[in-house]
Amino acid sequence: MTDEERFDEILEELRALLLDLGDLSSKVMLIGGQVLALESRLRGGTGVIAVATNTGTLVERGYSYEPDLLFDLDGTEFMAERLPEVLRLRGYSRTRTFRWSKDLPGGRMDLDLFAPGDVDAEALPTQMTGLPEARFALRKCRPVALSVGKSSLRILLPDAAGFLSMKERATSLRRPPNPKDCFDIYAYVSMVGLDQVKMSLGDAGEDGRALRERLRALFDAPSSRGVLDVLASAASLEDAEKRLLAQGVVDLFAEL
């Protein structure tokens, strides 16, 4: 099985799971790195998370095989109680407090579950990780549909401000910091485009303006934390290409 076939297998399982969740699927938004993979597919790509440098070199993070699902819950949804039952019926078992896993022909699929951070843990249908930025991200999500085999995967994706807010927050919350968060921010802005990102941040009002300033500060110089994390994902580049990439990242966020 190729990497792309493995990715398709994950998307097909995600499609089937959402179908089995019924009305609850309207409360589910995809977050994390797999958002980039779907944005790539929606633009005619394979789903590989990659960015072209100023010199035309492709910096790849590969495929994302782990769906992160944010449930728009407040603890009162009766239908949410079905979630653990549906997961078990589909062959999943809990492997961590917030993770359910299932063996597929191509390998194990890990499904990480998230909920808004303001929901009481005891009110959730199963254990999930609380996200402080969830309400902001859920504020303006959008439904997308893409072909998976002979069927169609329909799911909610965050808008630019929502995705970037969660990723920017992760850069400060994770200990130790994960370099892929900054790479994902850079890749998202590059893929979606400055115009769409600016519009989304503008629509978010004061929260969007504050997020824009935090992003600029994260990537404001070749020696800044965000730029160094992007370079860590491009370890195979020659030094001259790395310098060009670093300046390209700085220039991109200066225009934000």
Residues facing residue 51 across a β-bridge: 59
Q: What is the pLDDT of residue 1?
A: 86
CA distance 255 to 224: 17
Predicted pLDDT at 225: 93
Q: What is the pLDDT of residue 148?
A: 85
Low-confidence ranges of the chain (pLDDT < 50): none
Residue ranges covered by each domain of the chain: 1-158, 159-256
pLDDT at 9: 95
Residues 225, 115, 146, CA angle at the centre, nearest 5°? 80
Give the pLDDT score at 77: 65
pLDDT, tens digit, for every residue of 148-184? 878 899 999 999 999 999 999 988 776 566 788 999 9
Residues 6+ apart with CB under 8 A from 216: 253, 254, 256
- The residue type of 63 is Y
CATH number of 1-158: 3.30.460
pLDDT of 50: 86
228-238 burial, b at 16+ Cβ within 10 Å, e below that, comes to: bbbbebbeebe
pLDDT of residue 75: 61
Q: What is the pLDDT of residue 161?
A: 96
Q: Distance between CA atoms of 219 and 164, rounded to whole angstroms?
A: 13
> Which of the 8 DSSP states describes residue 236?
T
What's the pLDDT score for residue 174?
65
